[in-house]
Amino acid sequence: MTSFPKTLNENPLEKQDRSNIAVSCHKITKEFGSGDTKVQVLRGVNAEISFGEMSLLVGPSGCGKTTLISIICGLLDPTEGDLFVLNENVGKMSGRKKTAFRSQNVGFVFQQYNLLPALTAEENAAIPLVISGMKKRQAVARAAEVLNQVGLGNKLKSLPSQLSGGQQQRVAIARALVHNPRLLVCDEPTAALDAKSGQTVMELLTQVGRQKDRAVIVVTHDSRVYKFGDRIIEMNDGLIERVVFPKIDGSPYHAEG
């Protein structure tokens, strides 16, 4: 297993222009349950994620990664703390506003793809556009363009069951990108894939996801993908233990495997 460097706790980006910050978490806590069954999953998380970066959120199971990205993309409310996503105070938004915010600004890539089995690749990829009110025909045409970009131009009419795991994940990526979201949230995108497919998916995410005005957060256990990260946020026991910038610091995260 890759060991984390001990000397890279500081965030060099903090000295940079703040307008480049896509996500800013300040003392975020999250508790589940009440009374004796109360569990504190996040215990005051401070983190920032910049545009143009591929940020990896890593750490052992149960450390709070999923809870943190759920809060960042507005699927969960923090118990305490301030959260700004794309300069919006997401923590203070109403449920309906959060739903609208997600549909406009966030793209999701899930571990199990979560494609609708009855819809073709292009229809699945068109869903975010349909949610935003676009007509089906236009949405599907736009989805076909994005599927072309991810190398699935010949699989537009295929059902998920007719695609391999890697191809399904590429459809999911097309779905996540089709409405040009500024924040891309990927939950273990390579966990269900073999090494080659995982490599392809990460290359694709790096290629299409890492743009000047877009931030990408990838939650992963897969050490093989660490080399794709611009910023690696290591969590443990509800806290951010350290943040590493491998490309700036030349850390061992860029070593193969």
Nearer to other proteins, 179 or 227 (CB): 179
Q: How far is the CB of 41 from other proteins (least distance, A)?
A: 12
Q: How far is the CB of 256 from other proteins (least distance, A)?
A: 29
Nearer to other proteins, 181 or 246 (CB): 181
Place of tokens 């694709």: 204
Q: How far is the CB of 135 from other proteins (least distance, A)?
A: 11
Taking the C-alpha atoms of residue 238 and residue 46, their distance in angstroms, rounded to an integer, is: 11
Residues 105, 110, 111: CA angle, nearest 5 degrees: 160
Taking the C-alpha atoms of residue 83 and residue 183, their distance in angstroms, rounded to an integer, is: 14
Nearer to other proteins, 163 or 244 (CB): 163
Beta strand 239-244 with 231-236: parallel, antiparallel or unpaired?
antiparallel
**Cβ-proximal residues to 13 (8 Å cutoff; 6+ apart), any chain:** 20, 21, 48, 50, 231, 245
Nearer to other proteins, 106 or 244 (CB): 106
Provide the binding-site residues for other proteins, judged by CB under 8 A.
66, 69-70, 73, 75-76, 96, 99-100, 102-104, 106, 108, 110, 112, 114-119, 123, 127-128, 130-132, 136, 187, 219
Nearer to other proteins, 116 or 255 (CB): 116
The strand pairing partners of 256, in sequence order, are none
Nearer to other proteins, 64 or 246 (CB): 64
Q: How far is the CB of 175 from other proteins (least distance, A)?
A: 8
Q: What is the dihedral of CA 231, 234, 235, 236, to 10 degrees?
A: -170
Q: How far is the CB of 62 from other proteins (least distance, A)?
A: 12
CA atoms lying within 13 Å on the CB side of residue 98: 17
Taking the C-alpha atoms of residue 112 and residue 225, their distance in angstroms, rounded to an integer, is: 17
Q: How far is the CB of 249 from other proteins (least distance, A)?
A: 29
